[in-house]
């Protein structure tokens, strides 16, 4: 057995290139399981996906524990929440330990929604897209980590770090129960973690990889305006009774002006100013950002100069040949904060897919290039962490 050196990374990269058909077949197998967490009728499929991951990890010699969060009331039924799959590979005290998070559930999808193909049959297009629900969010990355481990074994290369896996089946439905499990297991299963890595984010664009070090967070509100108990004739009551829709429109228009400036008093007092380095990064950008608010999530910020990010940056450059973009996203990944607070260790968000992958949308895809190079990136990240 040999250690992971530059030469061994080249062997690893070559193995990935030589076995793309097998790697894609593994993703095809995972996408075929409709692990939709939002509906009761698909709950058994989500659980089956968790068992699939358990079998793959155990087949590679990992120690696996299935943590069951308990029951859930969903659509008039009592169903079991999908298990959180905890995996462990290696306990060498001389090595650094990485905790890796991902999710195996997906958003709902029907061909009638506007898909060109069956969403649960992975299709490779002529232009190199791997189309299928969950391909980029988040089965591609989850399977990628497993295949990275398998490739090292097949090549006879020692894994340079200890690994702890945390794969959940409820991320698309609020990660119910996961916070409590992470906090409960912080000094048990996750004990000894040096760094955490999450791959549930995306490149800023389509040509350059990126590392996410900040999340804006969001809040989800309902606003209701009530009016008359019965429908009123506009010819009789028009102009004398307030129309609820008009009142609501007027209310919403007081929140933001035509230039996008938020008009809520005091809100900008809570926003940190950008640094000079960040301002230089943003200069010359010609891009737009569209954010659709969902459930609430706290903001998060990390230092892109932390050793965990330095290792990830080196891994990206080794694979893609360029420095990654440093990204502060407009959304939220709440579990990031949970890991950081519970384990008291740095978290890096290392992306595989592109901004145009269509996560949560019809014809979701993961480019073949991103899938293959992303798996290489994972192996390079392990090596760079070991070299810290």
Residues 244 and 356: their CA atoms lie apart, in Å, by 38
Arithmetic mean of pLDDT, 347-370? 98
CA 262, 266, 271, 275 dihedral sign is: positive
Peptide bond into 221 cis (omega under 30): no
Give me the pLDDT at residue 285, please. 61
Domain-embedded: residue 239: no
Range of the domain at 61: 6-220+289-386
Q: What is the pTM of this model?
A: 0.86
Domain-embedded: residue 316: yes
Domain-embedded: residue 13: yes
| Tally of domains within the chain | 1
Give me the pLDDT at residue 284, please. 65
pLDDT digits (tens, 9 = 90+) for 105-160: 999 999 999 999 999 999 999 999 999 999 999 999 999 999 999 999 999 999 99
Those residues whose C-beta lies under 8 Å from the C-beta of residue 158, and which sit 6 or more positions away, are: 1, 2, 3, 4, 152
**Token pair for 380:** 């390079």
Neighbouring-strand partners of residue 327: 212
**Token pair for 312:** 């990830």
In terms of Cα–Cα distance, which of 65, 58, 62, 51 is closest to 88? 62
Arithmetic mean of pLDDT, 254-283? 86
Residues 25 and 371: their CA atoms lie apart, in Å, by 12
Residues 312 and 295: their CA atoms lie apart, in Å, by 29
Query: How is residue 298 annotated by DSSP?
Result: -
Mean of pLDDT over the chain: 93
Annotated active-site residue in 45, 88, 105, 373: 105
**Token pair for 47:** 């659980």
105 is catalytic: yes
Domain-embedded: residue 337: yes
Residues 359/103, Cβ–Cβ less than 8 Å: no
Those residues whose C-beta lies under 8 Å from the C-beta of residue 248, and which sit 6 or more positions away, are: 223, 225
Arithmetic mean of pLDDT, 341-367? 98
pLDDT digits (tens, 9 = 90+) for 46-86: 999 999 999 999 999 999 999 999 999 999 999 999 999 99
pLDDT digits (tens, 9 = 90+) for 291-328: 445 556 789 999 999 999 999 999 999 999 999 999 99
Domain-embedded: residue 210: yes
Residues 62/88, Cβ–Cβ less than 8 Å: yes
Q: For the CA atoms of 38, 44, 46, 52, what is the dihedral angle to 10 degrees? A: 180
CATH number at residue 308: 3.40.630.10
Domain-embedded: residue 251: no
Arithmetic mean of pLDDT, 195-221? 92
Domain-embedded: residue 149: yes
In terms of Cα–Cα distance, which of 101, 14, 130 is closest to 350? 101
Q: Which residues of 216-244 are buried (b: 16+ CB within 10 A; e: fewer)?
A: bbbeeeeeeeeeeeeeeeeeeeeeeeebe
Residues 227/244, Cβ–Cβ less than 8 Å: yes
Arithmetic mean of pLDDT, 360-375? 98
Annotated active-site residue in 45, 88, 150, 171: 171
Domain-embedded: residue 268: no
Residues 179/80, Cβ–Cβ less than 8 Å: no
Give me the pLDDT at residue 291, please. 47
259 is catalytic: no
Give me the pLDDT at residue 242, please. 78
């Amino acid at each position: 057995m040999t250690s992971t050196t530059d030469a061994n990374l080249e062997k690893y990269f070559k193995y990935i290139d030589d076995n793309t058909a097998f790697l894609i077949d593994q993703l095809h197998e995972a996408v075929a399981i409709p692990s939709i967490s939002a509906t009761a009728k698909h709950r058994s499929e989500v659980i089956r996906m968790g068992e699939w991951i358990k079998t793959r990890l155990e087949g590679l010699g990992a120690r696996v524990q299935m943590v069951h969060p308990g029951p859930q009331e969903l659509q008039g039924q009592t169903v079991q929440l999908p298990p959180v799959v905890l995996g462990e590979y290696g306990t060498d005290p001389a090595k650094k330990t990485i905790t890796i998070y991902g999710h195996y559930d997906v958003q709902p999808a029907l061909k009638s929604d506007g898909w060109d193909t069956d969403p649960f049959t992975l299709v490779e297009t002529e232009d190199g897209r791997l189309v299928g629900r969950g391909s980029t969010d988040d089965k591609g990355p989850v399977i990628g980590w497993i295949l990275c481990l398998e490739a090292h074994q097949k090549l006879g290369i020692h894994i340079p770090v200890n690994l702890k896996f945390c794969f959940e089946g409820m991320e698309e439905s609020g990660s119910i129960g996961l916070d409590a499990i992470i906090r409960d297991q912080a000094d048990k299963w996750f004990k000894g973690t040096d760094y955490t890595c999450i791959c549930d984010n995306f490149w800023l664009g389509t040509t350059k990889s990126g590392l996410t070090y900040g999340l804006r967070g969001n809040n989800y509100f309902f606003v209701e305006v009530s009016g008359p108990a019965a429908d009123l004739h506009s010819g009789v009551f028009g102009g004398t009774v307030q129309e609820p829709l008009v009142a609501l429109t007027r209310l919403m228009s007081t929140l933001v002006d035509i230039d996008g400036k938020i008009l809520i008093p005091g809100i900008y007092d809570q926003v940190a100013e950008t640094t000079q380095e960040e301002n230089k990064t943003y200069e010359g950008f010609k891009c737009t950002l569209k954010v659709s608010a969902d459930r609430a999530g706290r903001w998060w910020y990390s230092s892109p100069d932390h050793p965990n990010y330095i290792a990830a940056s080196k891994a990206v450059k080794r694979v893609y040949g360029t420095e990654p973009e440093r990204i502060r996203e407009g959304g939220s990944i709440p579990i990031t904060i949970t890991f950081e607070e519970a384990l008291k260790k740095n978290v890096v968000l290392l992306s595989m897919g592109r901004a145009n992958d269509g996560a949560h949308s019809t014809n979701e895809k993961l480019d073949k290039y991103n899938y293959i190079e992303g798996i290489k990136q994972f192996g390079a990240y392990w090596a760079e962490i070991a070299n810290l």
